Structure 1
């Protein structure tokens, strides 16, 4: 694509078309609902399931323009064609939210190439293919748009059994920056929202109660809710963030800032710390 400057789009017009992948999950479904509440047309994409159908029925029942688009994003053909298929249903999308992701717990000593590749294909390659297709469509039309990728605090911290997931989210954050650089001259902003642990009760990505309790520890003292993330996504894709691109917004209750669980390493000041004269400290 030949770079050219496109001015930012108008302030959040009614009728924007928003394409959301991973729409059946807790975060994806909340993102769909948040945009639908603004009067946006929503195309919800995920594997075919009762959850996807129920989401669209719920949104349509509330008066929203909503439709389901089944796709297996592990298939590069399906991921690459997703934007074109969404465009046929409701016109070219103005916003793409890449929320699809899987995180199987697999220690490295048990990792296979197939498991590694499936995580990378769904979590990173699909986002690359949908984002590139989105940019092609909008550039051809000469209009501005927004991409928001859902990453994770795992991009910054390794954890047991999640080497593939953490690597995929770190890669997705760099993909976000790369897309921002290449698509920015065309008026397409690309950012990421990085949640901490969010309570979603996912059948696709189940976690144990013990794991949820361990990763929910943060300065604000609670896990996130899908609506916490959805509101941030909506803001990032809106006019209030019109000069933001290539950024990663950390939404984790302060978990990435530090921990509240460690005790004070020593309850009292040492003599040197308190400024006591050296001869008194060494007596």
Structure 2
């Protein structure tokens, strides 16, 4: 397939040119990042050939292989791929009367074989698809309609940004010592706060407990490390502070939805 680079910044100029069209674009990134922007249409984004971070004003989302992200219209976001060679498959949809609350929030979902086949089917489309273009428009609209049906499990592949200054320092501390198994008590002592105060800080500022935040941080870091062919699953477990491989594997499976050994085995197929 021909993979056009993002030289025309189409997402800034063309996506919303026609209110009722569905816009389709498959392309190699061709650049190191897409700067913050927003569009009126909701965006379905699936990537191949690498991993992608999608950053909104509230959170940083990690989009791995075999997953897609839904970004509602009006949400400011920037896109940061692991390399300019990442292929992005985008479908931008106007609002429909049939839309449910599913389409109101940013989320990441796994992609099953059926949806992959449908995604590849859309590769034949480029640019605007108008309501008068039947059956093409109805098929494209059906793509959006089936998303809630095939996306029952949202994955917590995102971390909120702390705004509290002390919490920023705490999060940075955790990130830079990801290889250590830092306990809640150790963290409270390091920053000279009571465990009760620290627990309230995480819950109030990030809407999750320390252990929830720390576990997701470690698993997202593990996902990135597993893309490095030089590291075994056991080495990755140690790099994110797990001395027990079964514990790491079980935690990874609970958060990501697949065991790390399976993810490594399938990653070449996914890319």
Q: Taking structure 1 as the reference length, what is the TM-score of the superposition?
A: 0.25
Query: More strand per residue: 1 or 2?
Result: 2
Larger radius of gyration: 1
Q: Taking structure 2 as the reference length, what is the TM-score of the superposition?
A: 0.26
